[in-house]
Structure 1
């Protein structure tokens, strides 16, 4: 009744994706380096590199 196919199917892809994503997250977490935030320039129109923005980016990393 079932037809066997050789090659990658959806189930194998999902198994691989489920194990590869945590491994990639661990690799990114260990490679990241810590840097000091710059002083705030109130005259600038762009987003500032502050401790607050760094904390946001750290929490948003996935």
Structure 2
């Protein structure tokens, strides 16, 4: 579960984190395990930060 700044940031962008990761785990299981091995227990935060960066770049 996200906490602190990460949690409030994703609330601000209206992302349902639980639904997002349920979807990713169901559809991208192998990739999610790779990310989990690479980033450890913070892999969900890293995925969300990357998604927000891509979203911001696409808006510019």
Structure number with the higher helix fraction is 2
Indicate the structure whose relative CO is greater, using CA pairs within 8 Å and at least 6 residues apart.
2
- Whichever of the two has the greater Rg, that structure is 1
